Amino acid sequence: MKNNLQQILNTHFRLKDFRPGQSEIIQSVLNGNDVVAMLPTGGGKSLCYQLPAYILPGVVLIVSPLLSLMEDQVEQIKLRGEKRVIALNSTVPFMKRKETLDHLYSYRYIFVSPEILQNEYVFKALKKIKISLFVVDEAHCISQWGHDFRLDYSKLGLIRKQLNSPPCLALTATATKEVIKDIQEILQFNEKSEKFIYSIDRPNIALMIKPISSIDEKIDEVHRLVQALKGPGIIYCSSRLWAERLAEILIDKGIRGVGYYHGGMDPEQRILIQQQFLYDQLRLVCCTNAFGMGINKQNIRYVIHFHFPSQIESYMQEIGRAGRDGLPSIAITLLTQSDYEIPKSLVESEFPTYEKLYRLVYDVLSNTNELPSFEFISEKIGLTETQWRYTENYVEKLKPLGFEPDKIIALIWKEIENRLAIKHEKLSKMIGWLNTNECRRKKLLSYFDEDLQQKPVNCCDHCGVDFSSFEETTVPLLLENERKMDWEHELKVIFRKVSES
């Protein structure tokens, strides 16, 4: 069997060797075990379900949380020559989806969102085919203690059972022991289950926190860093506005090859930026956390956090996009005193206020038997799409109890308070890490119940980092006297048109 796996790896994936953990996870899956696997970002999780598809007799069903991530994964599979792959989600036109559902048996990989599994027609079509492996990507979304908990993910154990309980592979890059336990219980793992937990440490990535006195100084520091550092690179911002603004500032300062990316852009724009970055037509992307998942780019040399994320798990995923080729890379967080308020506000904004929840239940839901559209809710109550999606799930869940407004409000508000408490606790730990006087790598690993085995030469700003080893020694991003060249002017015009469209 081992030789067979090696042959498939060479033939279908054009790879010479397995990365640590991959062959063991694949072998366990092929033995029919339920498996939860934690591999670091860039550790090759997708191969753990893609390779078994060439041995198992039926279809591999993959549950994925983001439409953009599904599209990226489907595209990457097609690029290596595999055509028997499809993504089922709400963006697929009805007639095309109907035609696809009639021929699901002909596919090797079927990607689905957790929401589409609630669709009666999709679920009936899936029940008719042989699913040989049930894959849950980003499996930390299952647990309420996970940093990206999704209510629809929490239903996957029951859905899997209704699909004749195929063997399950749950994959994540960031999970504590508490989250791993939740994953196994909610997905209803059987007695033949195994855990493969590998170190989340990325020793080739140096960790730096750089205190800054003001926002203007922070912008100047970003400008200095992107001139000095080897590229390509990513800069994470807290908002769509800042992602666009920072890209435009850098372009105006003469930095070449800069783009921006966020969830508010048209799909075509997002795909264009992704492709330009993948093929080195862009060397730097200023973005929100919407950018990165599914971006299989090996040579990212640095990740800068213009604003820090609200959770350590998010930080680990975002810096993990650097140095996938194993070469030295650096993660730098720029920190001003005013930055501490930003994630607090973002956490609060994910949920409706008590006043808006009250208005939703009494002014809208009490006057209709059906859930209204988001557009109506947005105009009537002022809820964001995130707030409505969260509330909608609980409203659906409470329907069988009958319409008792005060009871519904009390139950939903209790869940909101619970989620807020968890998120504030995670934010507190993130802030604690930013302000630690200990080795940052050691502190980071201890959060995931892991010990630091060996300290790398370039560890963190407390232990010492030779910044010069990450600096550009060939052609810098900014070339003197080039700011007035025609191509530079054209690039500015292009990006301004994009931002205005």
C-alpha 41/C-alpha 39 separation (Å) is 7
Query: ∠ CA 281-285-290 to the nearest 5 degrees?
Result: 125
Per-position b or e across 237-248, b if 16+ CB within 10 A of its CB: bbebebbbbbbb
Q: What is the pLDDT of residue 46?
A: 92
Query: What pTM was estimated for this model as a whole?
Result: 0.86
pLDDT digits (tens, 9 = 90+) for 268-318: 898 899 889 999 999 999 999 988 776 778 999 999 999 999 999 999 999
Are the C-beta atoms of 73 and 111 separated by less than 8 Å? yes
CA 221/CA 202 separation, integer angstroms? 25
Alpha carbon distance 131, 61 (integer Å): 7
Amino acid (1-letter code) at residue 78 = K
Structural domains of the chain in order of their starting residue, each with its CATH number:
2-197 (3.40.50.300), 205-340+469-500 (3.40.50.300), 350-427 (no CATH)
pLDDT of residue 3: 62
Query: Facing residues of 197 across strands?
Result: 38
- Partners of 332 in the beta sheet? 208, 304
Q: For residues 478 and 475, what is the distance between their CA atoms, to the nearest angstrom?
A: 8
The radius of gyration of the chain's CA atoms, rounded to the nearest angstrom, is: 23
Q: What is the largest CA-CA distance in the chain?
A: 71
| pLDDT for res 119 | 86
Whose CA is closest to 191, among 167, 161, 171? 167
Which amino acid is it at 352? P
d(CA 88, CA 125): 12
Which stretches of the chain drop beneath a pLDDT of 70? 1-3, 294, 399-401, 474-501
What are 193's strand-pairing partners?
Answer: 34
| pLDDT score of 201 | 94
Q: Is the peptide bond before 352 cis (omega within 30 degrees of 0)?
A: no
Task: Judge residue 115's burial from the number of C-beta atoms within 10 Å of its C-beta, 0-12 exposed, 13-18 middle, 19 or more buried.
Answer: middle
- DSSP letter for 288, please: -
Helix (H) or strand (E) holding 233: strand 233-236
